[in-house]
């Protein structure tokens, strides 16, 4: 029988456990999360299990990626339940450090992917992607995995982290897994727990807007401005939703594209009450 998941809270112990995996010649997969796990997270764990001999996950609600008026204090924390889920899926190592362990007093170093970190979610959330890049850089150095698993749900985060890994020559394969949705289409998110019954229903407008754009694009409309207009119209049909952005961009640079003929990321962010939700679809160019 497999050993239960080993919970580790110090960097030194996590490094030692991960180095031992590599020393004995096994491959190591890594799934970083902020906890409050749902099927989206678990799909990353399953992907890691299928590709790597040993799987490590982390649960760390990273204070650095929350703005001063954001939901750090109320972010859902369900460590006991999360641990059980990870154990059931056969995760070997769970890194769950404290904020002091990750950012001891006097820490002064940040990782910033300039030019990307202020786009899409970075525009509404100044400093967010600097916090994400900094914590993921630290986690990748602590774990030194062969493969790290991320969700397409956070498409701008994927662009920022891919660029960071490339620019810093980090020796890790980034594996990006598809968005996992509820049966009615809502993208799974730990923040869905903030929605009341009405808002949960209203939140479907994000997916609806993407599906409308998808079907118009499938019928041959390639003009990004027109697709954005159509997406925004759908969002406007739900008066409770406050649009942050509806964008058609290059998935790597996050720069706007004029048309989607060479593929594009269609991304939306909107508030339901004070809850900010995001969703996207990736249009792959023909022949790729
Ligand atoms: P978080 O705990 O929100 O930081 O997310 C941890 C990882 O899970 C990130 O790589 C997310 O992109 C990924 N993730 C979150 N929600 C989903 C989802 N619905 N489908 C796929 N991946 C997801």
* Same domain flag for 195 and 172: no
- Looking at 121, 152, 177, the residue that finishes a domain is 177
**What integer pLDDT is reported at residue 42 of this predicted model?**
98
The range of the structural domain enclosing residue 261 comes to 190-280
Residue to substitute in 29, 31, 33, 38 for testing ligand 1 pocket (most ligand atoms within 8 angstroms of CB): 33
Tokens of 75: 């972010």
Q: Which residue has the tokens 């207009």?
A: 229
* Same domain flag for 90 and 28: yes
The 10s digit of each residue's pLDDT in 89-122 is: 999 999 999 999 999 999 999 999 999 999 999 9
Q: How far apart are CA 91 and CA 107, in angstroms?
A: 30
Q: What is the pTM of this model?
A: 0.98
Which residues lie closer than 8 Å to 12 by C-beta, 6 or more apart? Answer: none
CATH classification at residue 115: 3.40.50.620
* Same domain flag for 137 and 194: no
Sheet holding 147-151, edge to edge: 6-8, 93-95, 54-59, 28-33, 147-151, 173-177
Which residues lie closer than 8 Å to 40 by C-beta, 6 or more apart? Answer: 151, 153, 179, 180, 187, 188, 189
Query: What percentage of the chain exceeds 70 in pLDDT?
Result: 99
**Would the CB of 187 count as within 6 Å of ligand 1?**
yes
> Does 44 fall in a domain?
yes
**41 in catalytic set:** yes
């Amino acid at each position: 029988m497999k050993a239960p998941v080993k919970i580790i809270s110090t960097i030194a112990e996590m490094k030692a456990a991960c180095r031992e995996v590599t020393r004995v010649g096994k491959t190591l997969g890594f799934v970083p999360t902020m906890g409050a796990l749902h099927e989206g997270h678990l799909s990353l764990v399953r992907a890691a299990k299928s590709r790597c001999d040993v799987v490590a996950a982390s649960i760390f609600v990273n204070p650095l990626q929350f703005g001063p008026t954001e939901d750090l204090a109320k972010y859902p924390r369900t460590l006991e339940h999360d641990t059980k889920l990870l154990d059931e899926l056969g995760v070997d190592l769970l890194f769950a450090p404290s904020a002091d362990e990750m950012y001891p007093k006097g820490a002064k170093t940040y990782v910033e992917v300039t030019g990307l970190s202020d786009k899409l979610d970075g525009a509404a959330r100044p400093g967010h992607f600097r916090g994400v890049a900094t914590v993921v850089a630290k986690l990748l150095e602590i774990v030194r995995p062969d493969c790290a698993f991320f969700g397409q749900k956070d498409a701008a985060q994927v662009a920022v982290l891919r660029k960071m890994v490339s620019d810093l020559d980090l020796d890790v394969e980034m594996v990006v897994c598809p968005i996992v949705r509820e049966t009615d289409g809502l993208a799974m998110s730990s923040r869905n727990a903030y929605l009341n019954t009405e808002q949960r229903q209203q939140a479907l407008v994000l997916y609806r807007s993407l599906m409308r754009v998808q079907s118009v694009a499938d019928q041959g409309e390639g003009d990004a401005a027109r697709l954005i207009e159509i997406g925004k119209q759908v969002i406007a049909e739900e008066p409770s939703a406050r649009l942050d952005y509806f964008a058609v961009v290059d998935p790597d640079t996050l720069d706007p594209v004029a048309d989607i003929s060479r593929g594009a990321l269609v991304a939306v962010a909107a508030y339901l009450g004070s809850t900010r939700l995001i969703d996207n679809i990736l249009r792959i160019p023909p022949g790729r």
